[in-house]
Amino acid sequence: MPNTAEPAAEPTVEKAPTKHSSSMSFREMLATLWQFIRPYRKIMFAAGVALVFTAGITLSIGQGVRLLVDRGLVASSSEALSSAVLIIVGLALLMALGTYARFYLVSWLGERVVADLRKAVFDHIVTLHPSYFETNRSGEIMSRLTTDTTLLQHIIGTSFSMALRSSLMFVGALILLLFTNLKLSLMVLIGVPLVLAPIVLYGRRVRKLARASQDSIADVGSYAGEIIQHIKTVQSYTRERDEQQAFGREVETAFQIAKRRIRQRALLIAVVILLMFGAISGLLWVGGNDMIAGRMSAGDLAAFVFYAVMMGSAVATISEVYGELQRATGATERLVDLLNVESEIPVSGGDTRPNKPLGATKAEVIFDAVDFSYPSRPDQPAIRGLNLVVEEGRSLALVGPSGAGKSTLLELLQRFYDPLGGCITLGGVDLREIDTADLRRQLAVVPQQPALFTADVWYNIRYGRPDASDEEVIAAARAAHAHDFIRQLPDGYNSHLGEQGTRLSGGQKQRIAIARAILKDPEVLLLDEATSALDAESEYHVQRALEALMEGRTTIIIAHRLATILHADSIAVLDRGQLVAQGKHAELIEISPLYKRLAELQFQDSGRRKPAAE
By CB under 6 A, name the binding residues for ligand ATP.
134, 374, 376-377, 382, 400, 402-408
Nearest residue (CB) to ligand ATP, 50 versus 573: 573
Half-sphere exposure of 584 (CA within 13 A, CB side): 5
* Least separation in angstroms between CB 592 and ligand ATP: 16
Rounded to whole angstroms, the Cα distance separating 187 from 169 reads 18
- The torsion angle over the Cα atoms of residues 477, 483, 485 and 488, rounded to 10 degrees, is 130
Residues 6+ apart with CB under 8 A from 194: none
Nearest residue (CB) to ligand ATP, 72 versus 419: 419
Q: Strand 578-583's sheet: what is its strand order?
A: 443-446, 524-528, 554-558, 395-399, 570-575, 578-583
Question: Residue 496's beta-bridge partner residues?
Answer: 456
Nearest residue (CB) to ligand ATP, 483 versus 509: 509
User: Residue 27's Cα: distance from chain center in Å?
Assistant: 24
Nearest residue (CB) to ligand ATP, 7 versus 378: 378
Measured over the CA atoms of residue 220, residue 226, residue 231 and residue 237, the dihedral's sign is: negative
The DSSP 8-state label assigned to residue 40 in this structure reads G
* Least separation in angstroms between CB 341 and ligand ATP: 18
Nearest residue (CB) to ligand ATP, 134 versus 587: 134
Nearest residue (CB) to ligand ATP, 58 versus 395: 395
Helices (H), 127-181: 130-135, 138-143, 149-154, 160-180
CB burial of 317-349 (b: ≥16 within 10 Å; e: otherwise) equals: bbbbbbbbbbbbbbbbbbbbbbbebeeebeeee
* Least separation in angstroms between CB 594 and ligand ATP: 13
Q: How far is CA 311 from CA 98, 191, 325, 430, in A?
A: 21, 11, 21, 69
* Least separation in angstroms between CB 400 and ligand ATP: 6
* Least separation in angstroms between CB 402 and ligand ATP: 3
Nearest residue (CB) to ligand ATP, 312 versus 400: 400
* Least separation in angstroms between CB 376 and ligand ATP: 5
The answer to whether the beta carbons of residues 54 and 95 sit under 8 Å apart is: yes
- The torsion angle over the Cα atoms of residues 171, 177, 179 and 183, rounded to 10 degrees, is -130
Nearest residue (CB) to ligand ATP, 301 versus 534: 534
* Least separation in angstroms between CB 508 and ligand ATP: 22
Nearest residue (CB) to ligand ATP, 375 versus 583: 375
Rounded to whole angstroms, the Cα distance separating 242 from 245 reads 5
If we measure between CA atoms, which residue out of 33, 319, 114 comes closest to residue 24?
33
Rounded to whole angstroms, the Cα distance separating 519 from 588 reads 35
* Least separation in angstroms between CB 397 and ligand ATP: 13
* Least separation in angstroms between CB 129 and ligand ATP: 12
